[in-house]
Amino acid sequence: MAEGILEAKSLWHKYKTKVWRQKTPQTAVVHNIMRVLRSIHNPGRLVYISVPITSGIYLYRLQLKHPQADIKELIHEAIIYNYRYGWNFVRKLTKRLDCPVLYPADLTPVHQQWEQDHFQALWLSVIAEKCTELHMSAGWPYSNGGSEEFTHAWQLQLGLPICKDLLFFNAKESEEYERERMKNIKIYDHLGKPISLNRGYRAIEKSIKWIHGRGFGADKTKKLQNCLELLDWTGNMIAKGFYQ
């Protein structure tokens, strides 16, 4: 089967084919993190929590409060806040759920400068290869990464991207097993309520209006807008019964 329409739209295909083929220390770390996770067999139910790290509504509010401040300093403050917020979210989930909870911020490497592409190549692969549930933190639609994770989880219902030199499933398990798990990843909000594709779409749409309404330019919402377009396409393809 040749590469085609799914590959052109898949966020996983976009990030993985770009990063996996690079010969850099950052890519080596991405590979090795995934190898460690693949060494864990029969994990059963595994929850991934989506929390903004370098972006999100807290950063927007900091920028509004301190319009003259150095953006790097504001991002640093947002990272500290977001990490603590995410950790509290982990604690709440572990009290409510009787299963392992994966906090992606704790997989962030030290002593390396990563671009967003590296993070997304890793996060989307973790979700696709190992997880059964995605729990979105409050405010996730204001985060580029969170919105892409939500979109990615829905795109997995369309099947697996094709690439001549990359496998898009955990080769340590059977493809049949992996496909079934990916097709059935559940997505919940911070209160444990299911998030449908339409509900997620409306949430991202609302966040874009909020961001623009406070004077931030279209460049800030480019990825969020792309997620809306991908979710619209994904929903139509699911309705048509497409599966690859």
Whether the per-residue pLDDT at 5 is higher than 60: the answer is: yes
101-102 and 133-136 strand pairing = unpaired
Burial 3-36 (b: 16+ CB within 10 A, else e): eeebbebbbbbbbbbebbeeeeebbebbeebbee
Give the pLDDT score at 77: 96
pLDDT value for 3: 66
Banded model confidence at residue 91, pLDDT cuts 50, 70, 90: very high
∠ CA 124-127-129, rounded to 5°: 100
pTM over 0.85? The answer is: yes
Q: How far is CA 107 from the centre of its chain?
A: 14
Whether 8 has a pLDDT exceeding 60, the answer reads yes
Task: Tell me whether residue 209 is exposed, middle or buried, using C-beta atoms within 10 angstroms of its C-beta: 0 to 12, 13 to 18, 19 or more.
Answer: exposed
Per the structure block, which two tokens stand in for 224? 């969020």
Strand pairing partners for 47?
101, 133
**pLDDT in the model for residue 161:** 96
Q: In the predicted model, is pLDDT for residue 178 greater than 60?
A: yes
Is the four-CA dihedral 136, 159, 181, 186 of positive or negative sign? positive
Answer whether residue 132 shows pLDDT above 90.
yes
